[in-house]
Chains A and B, each alone.
Chain A
Amino acid sequence: MYKYDEIDQQIVNERVEQYRDQTRRYLAKELTEDEFRPLRLQNGLYIQRQAPMLRIAVPYGMLSSKQLHKLADIAKKYDKGYGHFSTRQNLQLNWPKLEDTPDILAELATVEMHAIQTSGNCIRNITTDQFAGVAPDEIVDPRVLAEIIRQWSTFHPEFALLPRKFKIAVSGTKDDRAVVQMHDIGMEFFLDKNNKLAIKVWVGGGLGRTPILGTVIHEHLEWQHALTYCEAIIRIYNLHGRRDNAYKARIKILVKALGIDEFKRQVEAEWAHLKDAPNTITEAELARVSKHFEAMPYENLPAQDASFDAAISSNPAFATWVKRSIHAHKTPGYRAVTLSLKPHGSAPGDATSEQMHVVADLAEKYGFGELRVSHEQNLILADVKLSDLLTVWEKARAHGLATPNIGLLTDIICCPGGDFCSLANAKSIPIAVAIQQQFDNLDYLHDIGDIELNISGCMNACGHHHIGHIGILGVDKDGSEWYQVTIGGSQGNYASIGNVIGPSFSAEEMPSVVQKLIEVYIKERTAEERFIDTAKRLGIAPFKAHVYAEKNANKVEVTV
């Protein structure tokens, strides 16, 4: 993974000092609440219901063992001994003290970490595929350009105060796992017919109040121009994006208002001036950064491992875990492993300090000292030998990190919701927990198969509810909490936005609503169909009919 040189280190060190002074001025009342807000937000500090929340950047989800140990220590020392991994592959602390945040950042800087631009109206953490570098279907390792974009976007002076937040995702695989169509800018790397690295650029995607899938603005951009092309797009947005209404300020609204053709015309006209400017990426810089992402020193292993095969046949619990948690790897004899942060009955994406230390140790011993955070809020060891899998499983299981539910109904994507977040309309964690308890039967879960259930506590859609196969959105009606349900959303190359099935439900009704949606699927599915396939084939009608059947029946009784 990328390691800092003296330039990188100096920038984070100077940031700590800058932020320390900003905090000092705020506490000394030299900065008002309103004036401090954009400054603290650009350092990931929210003021929440109970306490401030600090969002720590995990660039494109990559962590070293050393960094995770440090995060565990910080969570212990400055928080309540746990942290929350978010859908932007970052780590959030829910209970730090504002006065402590400069010290936390100083500690982070010692392990090449920071909280720069994890919030606020600026370019946010660049995200990508959690299997970058090891996925068999990978065409290009997206992390190299992700790192180059990260550096370029860090304190970019022209884009320091945009109309609204700005998210960039990069992907280097045929099957998109970075949800590029859901981002303000999505970059899909590919090798063109001359075998040269090129980029398909998407623009104007996003969730939130107005979910919109991105549109292709440039089919074939040579990699050297990645930064200048982004500059052209973001300059047009910075100058013309709305600033009068936060709900209409994302680039997607501008793209829609102008139409993609006119927006593209403006961007291309701007880019004509910026193309080949000094920010054009050089071969030398690409080579320098690429060195940080070279393949691990893998052993030469056979594709099969007898001890692994034996363990599978003799240990059904291990076999079940392997079925869900192990992913293919480029290198024979190796696998990527997902450690579940979704044990039934606790907040999805949360990890205790002890668990973080355990995972950091596992990564150290069995994964070349590196790991990743996925946007599904789990942790990944990307390079584990087949012969080590049983040991990894045993240790992970002993610490509640081996629930065999990856990609299943209880692997819920969930934002912190109304328990923590001051933006939320409704709680989301208790809904997730109640659904996990309703479906706390592994055989049943495995029979239901691949499904994605996403929960957001408000329109801001941190839980990506629009693209969940089942999406749940917390809404506020006259001061009480209700939940709107969508089905048919999906991520990937065929991304789609879910459709609302009907009037919203109370919290207590939610587990049985999900139960009923699953019943329709089980009844209607063909042998090969996943939930999403059945939902897309049939549309919402049969699901709606079954879910609301009882309610409608009750209504009839009342009127009769």
Chain B
Amino acid sequence: MSNLIINDTLANDEWTLVRLPASQIADRKQAGKVVLFKLTGEKTVTEEQISGTAIPATGKIIVPLSVYIARKPELEQRLHANEVGIWVDTHELLEDLLNSVSNINSLPIIAVHVERFADGRIFSLGSLLRTRYGFKNELRAFGDVLRDQLFFLKRSGFSSYVIRADRSAQDALASLKDFSQPYQGAVDNPNPVFKRYNRTA
């Protein structure tokens, strides 16, 4: 069984993640500390990594945005067969994703990868994909995904979650229901409580 939750239930994962190979460029050292960041702390992807990414010949695949952009012709046919989704990291620009597809809803799945639990950019990305860019298909969160993010992820428009491998997805289901009447409008229910409930007091 995978650690995947789709909507509110456990599910089998039909998708294969296509990973970039490890970077061959050594991390620069500065004052004894590894410097990984430009401004916000992320590595950049190299040409070698993109060309060196092994794409399986068949099956449903989720490919990194950088690979998708650079190697689109190879993937065109499978995209039409609804077999290609895109992996977006939280530091990547949604504009790059939008510029690389003619219609965002031609993608059956967008999977947003969160490297650290505390990285709340994933919530804004979800909100923007759903409300600004009208994405209607599966929106998945994976990476350092633990049950205490789920309620927020769900409200930010995510529809599936891969719980980190060392934790129980079964236990995590309960956290989708942490609160029954949230105050503010969000993606899952745009109306704030003062518009959905008669607060007479």
What is the interface of chain A, defined by CB distance below 8 A to chain B?
3-5, 7, 10-11, 14-15, 18, 22, 35, 38-39, 121, 151-163, 227, 235, 238-240, 242-244, 273, 277-279, 282, 284-285, 288
Binds A, one of B7-15, B57-65, B70-78, B193-201: B193-201
Residues from chain A with Cβ under 8 Å of B132 in the complex: 273
Q: Are B119 and A243 in contact (CB-based, < 8 A)?
A: yes
Q: Within 8 Å of chain A (Cβ to Cβ): is B155?
A: yes
Residues from chain B with Cβ under 8 Å of A163 in the complex: 120
Which residue of the partner chain, among A151, A152, A153, A155, contacts B179 with CB atoms under 8 Å?
A155
Residues from chain A with Cβ under 8 Å of B24 in the complex: none
Q: Are A155 and B199 in contact (CB-based, < 8 A)?
A: no
Residues from chain B with Cβ under 8 Å of A3 in the complex: 201
Known: A14-B178, A157-B151, A285-B194. A238 touches B183 (CB 8 A): no
Known: A3-B201, A7-B199. A160 touches B180 (CB 8 A): no
Residues from chain A with Cβ under 8 Å of B180 in the complex: 10, 14
Q: Within 8 Å of chain A (Cβ to Cβ): is B170?
A: no
Which residue of the partner chain, among A5, A14, A22, A278, contacts B148 with CB atoms under 8 Å?
A22
Instruction: Count how many chain B residues have C-beta atoms less than 8 Å from C-beta atoms of the other chain.
Output: 44
Q: Are A238 and B199 in contact (CB-based, < 8 A)?
A: no
Which residue of the partner chain, among B41, B120, B154, B178, contacts A159 with CB atoms under 8 Å?
B120
Q: Are A121 and B118 in contact (CB-based, < 8 A)?
A: yes
Q: Are A278 and B124 in contact (CB-based, < 8 A)?
A: no
Bound Cα distance A4, B181 (Å):
14
Bound Cα distance A433, B186 (Å):
49
Q: Are B37 and A152 in contact (CB-based, < 8 A)?
A: no
Interface core residue of B155, B180, B192 (most chain A CB under 10 Å): B192
Which residue of the partner chain, among B37, B118, B178, B184, contacts A161 with CB atoms under 8 Å?
B118
Q: Are A279 and B152 in contact (CB-based, < 8 A)?
A: no
What is the CB-to-nearest-CB distance from A225 to chain B, in angstroms, rounded to a whole number? Answer: 14
Known: A157-B156, A239-B121. A279 touches B199 (CB 8 A): no
Q: Are A151 and B183 in contact (CB-based, < 8 A)?
A: yes
Bound Cα distance A300, B170 (Å):
64
Known: A278-B192, A285-B194. A7 touches B40 (CB 8 A): no
13 examples of A-B residue contacts, CB within 8 angstroms = A7-B199, A10-B180, A11-B182, A158-B120, A160-B123, A161-B118, A161-B123, A162-B120, A239-B125, A242-B39, A242-B41, A278-B191, A279-B192
Bound Cα distance A284, B195 (Å):
10
Q: Are B39 and A244 in contact (CB-based, < 8 A)?
A: yes
Which residue of the partner chain, among B186, B190, B201, contacts A158 with CB atoms under 8 Å?
B186
Please give me the residue from chain A that is nearest to B183 by CB atom: A151
Interface core residue of A14, A18, A160, A285 (most chain B CB under 10 Å): A160
Residues from chain A with Cβ under 8 Å of B41 in the complex: 242-244
Q: Are A5 and B183 in contact (CB-based, < 8 A)?
A: no
**Interface code B161-175, partner A: CB below 8 Å = 1, 0 otherwise?**
000000000000001
Residues from chain B with Cβ under 8 Å of A5 in the complex: 199-201
Bound Cα distance A244, B34 (Å):
12
Q: A18-B175, A288-B199 are in contact. List 10 more A-B contacts (CB 8 A).
A: A5-B199, A7-B183, A14-B178, A153-B184, A157-B156, A157-B182, A157-B186, A158-B156, A161-B118, A278-B192
Q: Are B179 and A244 in contact (CB-based, < 8 A)?
A: no
Q: Within 8 Å of chain A (Cβ to Cβ): is B127?
A: yes
Q: Are A7 and B181 in contact (CB-based, < 8 A)?
A: yes
Residues from chain A with Cβ under 8 Å of B186 in the complex: 156-158
What is the CB-to-nearest-CB distance from A247 to chain B, in angstroms, rounded to a whole number? Answer: 14
Bound Cα distance A277, B127 (Å):
13
Bound Cα distance A315, B168 (Å):
71
Residues from chain B with Cβ under 8 Å of A18 in the complex: 175, 178-179
Please give me the residue from chain A that is nearest to B182 by CB atom: A155
Q: Within 8 Å of chain A (Cβ to Cβ): is B185?
A: yes
Residues from chain B with Cβ under 8 Å of A15 in the complex: 179
Bound Cα distance A7, B198 (Å):
10
Q: Are B124 and A282 in contact (CB-based, < 8 A)?
A: no
Bound Cα distance A12, B50 (Å):
48
**Interface code B104-133, partner A: CB below 8 Å = 1, 0 otherwise?**
000000000000011111011101000110
Residues from chain A with Cβ under 8 Å of B193 in the complex: 7, 151
Q: Within 8 Å of chain A (Cβ to Cβ): is B139?
A: no
Q: Within 8 Å of chain A (Cβ to Cβ): is B20?
A: no
Residues from chain B with Cβ under 8 Å of A121 in the complex: 118, 120
Bound Cα distance A279, B127 (Å):
14
Residues from chain A with Cβ under 8 Å of B146 in the complex: 35
Bound Cα distance A235, B123 (Å):
10
**Interface code B78-111, partner A: CB below 8 Å = 1, 0 otherwise?**
0000000000000000000000000000000000
Bound Cα distance A242, B39 (Å):
7
Known: A7-B181, A156-B184. A244 touches B156 (CB 8 A): no
Which residue of the partner chain, among A7, A22, A277, contacts B197 with CB atoms under 8 Å?
A7
Q: Are A161 and B185 in contact (CB-based, < 8 A)?
A: no
Interface core residue of A154, A242, A244 (most chain B CB under 10 Å): A244
Residues from chain B with Cβ under 8 Å of A238 in the complex: 120-121, 123-124
What is the CB-to-nearest-CB distance from A10 to chain B, in angstroms, rounded to a whole number? Answer: 6
Q: Are B124 and A157 in contact (CB-based, < 8 A)?
A: no
Bound Cα distance A473, B93 (Å):
41
Residues from chain A with Cβ under 8 Å of B120 in the complex: 121, 158-163, 238
Nearest 6 Cβ contacts at the A-B interface: A161-B120, A244-B41, A157-B155, A5-B201, A157-B152, A285-B194
Known: A152-B192, A244-B37, A273-B132. A158 touches B183 (CB 8 A): no
What is the CB-to-nearest-CB distance from A73 to chain B, in angstroms, rounded to a whole number? Answer: 26
Q: Are B181 and A235 in contact (CB-based, < 8 A)?
A: no
Residues from chain B with Cβ under 8 Å of A244 in the complex: 37, 39-41
Known: A18-B178, A235-B124, A244-B41. A152 touches B183 (CB 8 A): yes
Bound Cα distance A7, B183 (Å):
8
Known: A7-B199, A38-B118, A278-B195. A14 touches B179 (CB 8 A): yes
Q: Are B148 and A288 in contact (CB-based, < 8 A)?
A: no
Residues from chain A with Cβ under 8 Å of B149 in the complex: 160-161
Q: Are A11 and B181 in contact (CB-based, < 8 A)?
A: yes
Residues from chain B with Cβ under 8 Å of A240 in the complex: 40
Residues from chain A with Cβ under 8 Å of B121 in the complex: 238-239, 243
Q: Are A282 and B118 in contact (CB-based, < 8 A)?
A: no
Please give me the residue from chain B that is nearest to A4 by CB atom: B201
Bound Cα distance A161, B194 (Å):
25
What is the CB-to-nearest-CB distance from B145 to chain A, in angstroms, rounded to a whole number? Answer: 12
Residues from chain B with Cβ under 8 Å of A235 in the complex: 124, 127
Residues from chain A with Cβ under 8 Å of B197 in the complex: 7
Q: Are B201 and A154 in contact (CB-based, < 8 A)?
A: no
Residues from chain B with Cβ under 8 Å of A22 in the complex: 148
